[in-house]
Amino acid sequence: MRFGVIGAMGLVWDILLVTVLRPYIGLTAATLLSYFAVASLNWLLNQLWTFRNVAHRDHPILQWLRFLAANSFGFLLNRGTVYTLCFTVPFCAQHVALPLAAGSLMGLLANFNLSRKLVFRAKVPETPLELAKMTVDLNVDPTDKDLES
């Protein structure tokens, strides 16, 4: 639920940033820049609220980079939907909030699952090899109380 609330707040910021930036840098650049800014804000808010029980175990920069990497699949779903709608449906190109909302929904589940499994977790890797193994192993112990929220 918390992840969804932060995602909804991120959608509002995304719509505002794209709307402000689009006249100056175009749709493609505005949506890319906005996604990066909003994803970074969402990481911070998820660290402080959604995953607060496990969020402070890694170095913040490494966790932020892992968050962006983990959400890259959600990014492809999100912005792929936005671009498909904007470049094929003239109404969507004029009313960018609609494709941004559709893209947000497309990426939500993927982003939550990958963030929970790869970014915000109780066990901190102690070596680069352990990090690589944890990144590849997407299985999470369902009894792990630190991951509930």
pLDDT, tens digit, for every residue of 9-28? 988 999 999 999 999 999 99
pLDDT at 124 over 80: no
Cβ atoms of 97 and 15 within 8 Å: the answer is yes
Task: State how far the Cα of 81 lies from the Cα of 83, in Å rounded to an integer.
Answer: 6
Q: Which residue has better confidence, 136 or 29?
A: 29
CA 111 to mean position of chain CA atoms: 5
Q: Give the best-scoring range by mean pLDDT among 44-48, 106-110, 121-125.
A: 44-48
Residue 112 CB neighbour total at 10 angstroms:
17
The count of domains in the chain is: 1
| DSSP structure string for 10-34 | HHHHHHHHHHHHHHHHHHHHHHHHH
pLDDT band at residue 134, thresholds of 50, 70 and 90?
Answer: low
* 124-135 average pLDDT score: 62
Mean of per-residue pLDDT scores for the chain: 79
Residue-number span of the structural domain to which 135 is assigned: 2-147
